[in-house]
Structure 1
């Protein structure tokens, strides 16, 4: 049997490192522009989290914003200290989940049909958001999609690297790069927040974030890892520990609330990531941007062509939806369909609970019919 490498540093790993940028750009812009987060701390701490995660897991492992927290923080114009407090609070929650192995028990109670339903729902959501971005420039979107399809497997010109270069070329042609400030060293600064802010942000959005992190960032991510690398499984308890540890550390120097995620993992894998090298490469890029281009980074993110990001997100959405075919035809399709439908109509937390309820109600009814015979 050929030994799987833990670290590779090549163009395909670099392309995979860029595979989940589509979910990062919009929320990064909101955190920096609306909430006033220091771009240097934001990016440097995300980069360090990526590097440490790549070394620990030796596999691609996405580091993403916690989406419920990010959306609420941006919509309600939270102060920077509230954002940092929310990350610290979520870190404590995930350390508790790991220490008690509550997340492990939740995984045992969750059937594959519900996990696949969550993944399919995430895929549909990504595809819907991608279509909105694609509509900002249909010609560029079509070219980007063709690049993805033609170069996804290329080792010499991987699709994600070509698309990033295309995006920079488009910005240059439009004259949008002229407003970038000259590179200059900017270091992260120590932050401060209060215990009251930790509790308040948990009430405002943190507790609502927990079901999404349980389902998508933990259980679904572990399931996807076992699909891609069946001989190198990662437990949900380990994922919980890493989410807890990084969120109690990164806020101190300006990091945002972070988690893993099935969507980010699918994006990394789809565009070529196969080892922990992808995380290390992404981390180096983020640290460089945070240290030397923090003055201009939000502006760069905001003018990067949305059609290119949309093309990447759309293909990742399709990648996630295809796992639904693994579910057996028959009774397992009902919990999958309910999980998918309720998630799209409401949210993933409700979809998760509805899928669980339908699975166990059907199992109970089936046992009662068997007992009558």
Structure 2
């Protein structure tokens, strides 16, 4: 089934099959690089990171009964990695943002923001995300373009294959390449590892909010709340999810994740588009992904970071390229000034970041709306004045006629 068409077939709440497993891998391009960097550069405990990813995925699958991807919060992740934060600071940022999301939901501020955000601005954000994903995919293909091309061909040929789904084939191919290049470990580090429980310090929470948390707010509201909710309405019109529910759950999961050693997490329109594109249709996809992540965290935390770092990224890039193109197409039905504002929002998002693009597009949309309303009102007053002038001229003729009669 084409990824850009709403799947109107009836699906149960949960299916556990190859298609759902393949779909759960559709967002690996947004998950792999930052998760590996958190472990390799910041020294995060892989057990806590993967176990919390897994538990959260299972919870989301049970709550929403839909594919509901998780990915690292990008501004926080990029800041933490480039500044080499300690794991304690990363956990603190998750706690601070989690509490903030809960506050925005219960205060009603999120509902107000959703109400004043036009759909075409959301489409502009999705367009920017699609272009960004596709561009990043092309960069990852550059070292081995032939391998990237092979991945694209496999996706196009096997994406809807029931017995050999594209993403599963690509993961198996990646493991084969790892073995051929000698990147598989000779001795697997198999031992039970549990996450460490630690409550972040409040001074660290405030510090990380100043360094990256406040900058993360508009990006998460646009890309992790408003855009995914719109995409869910497109893909699953009978199972729409409110923005308030998305944000409240995002807040709760970050609070618990920060205490149990997880990274700051959010939803994402790109991840949802990726999972849907590769076949995920039910809550079975995140549940299966979650079980795999928990097993990795419990028993493979000593080996997984090196494996993920060595995985041939052109294979992931081939998946990302087509997902990016698919996501960008959500703006194709816009016309006129709505299309112009969506394009402007996308352009600003690409040259700055999604959060700034969202705020800029929102301001521009309401300024244009005010100008158009003012023009309509002025036109109405001008028409009214013309009518009054005609009436006055009519009254003058009547007066003149009366004088003549008298």
Same fold per superposition (TM over 0.5): yes
Query: How far apart are the structure 2 equivalents of 1:181 and 1:156?
Result: 30
Q: 1:372: how far off?
A: 2.2
Query: Does 2:316 correspond to 1:336?
Result: no
Partner SS for 1:7: coil
Given that residues 65 and 259 in structure 1 are in contact (C-alpha distance below 8 angstroms), is that contact kept between their aligned partners in structure 2? yes
**Aligned pairs (5 A) from 1:117-132:** 117-132=124-139
Report what 1:168 is aligned to: 175
Runs (5+) with no aligned partner, structure 1: none
Any conservation in 1 of the 2:220–2:355 contact (CA below 8 Å)? no
2:384 matched residue in structure 1 = none
Tell me if the contact between 1:335 and 1:356 (Cα under 8 Å) persists in the aligned partners.
no
Alpha-carbon distance in structure 1 between the residues aligned to 2:9 and 2:126: 30
Post-superposition shift, 1:92? Answer: 0.2
1: distance between equivalents of 2:179 and 2:125?
Answer: 39
1:290 aligns with 2:302: no
Secondary structure of the structure 2 residue equivalent to 1:331? helix
Q: Measure, in 1, the Cα distance between the counterparts of 2:49 and 2:187.
A: 19
- Hey, what's the Cα distance between the residues in 2 that align with 1:192 and 1:367? 52
Return the alpha-carbon distance in structure 2 between the equivalents of residues 353 and 63 of structure 1: 24
> What corresponds to 2:55 in structure 1?
48
Tell me the equivalent position of 1:30. 37
Greater displacement, 331-340 / 52-61: 331-340
Is residue 81–residue 192 contact of structure 1 (8 Å, CA) maintained in 2?
Answer: no
Which secondary structure state, in structure 2, belongs to the residue aligned with residue 332 of structure 1? helix
The superposition leaves residues 237-286 of structure 1 with CA deviations (integer Å, 9 ceiling, x where unpaired) of 00011001001101111101011110100000000000000000110111
Q: Say yes or no: does 1:356 pair with 2:340.
A: no
Structure 2 residue ranges without an equivalent (≥5) = 1-7, 380-406
Shift of 1:3: 4.3
Give distance in 2, aligned partners of 1:179 and 1:2.
Answer: 46
SS at match of 2:281: coil
Q: How does 1:110-121 map to 2 (within 5 A)?
A: 110-121=117-128
CA contact (8 A) 2:95 2:200 kept: no
For 1:341 and 1:349, the matched residues in 2 are separated by 12
Map Cα deviations across residues 86-126 of structure 1 (whole Å, 9 max, x no partner). Answer: 10111100000111121121111110110000001011111
Asked if the contact 1:136/1:306 (under 8 Å) is kept, the reply is no
| Residue 368 (str. 1) matches residue 384 (str. 2) | no
Aligned 1:16-165 pairs, distance under 5 A: 16-165=23-172
Displacement of 1:181 in angstroms is 2.6
Please give the root-mean-square deviation of Cα atoms over the aligned residues, in Å.
1.2
Give secondary structure in 2 for the equivalent of 1:62: coil
CA distance in 2, matches of 1:65, 1:178: 27
**Superposition deviation, residue 139 in structure 1:** 1.4
Contact 2:36 2:308 in 1 (8 A): yes
Structure 1 residues 171-180 or 34-43, which shifts more? 171-180
The alpha-carbon deviation at position 358 of structure 1 amounts to 1.9
Match for residue 276 of structure 1 among 283, 297, 315? 283
Post-superposition offset of 1:178: 3.0
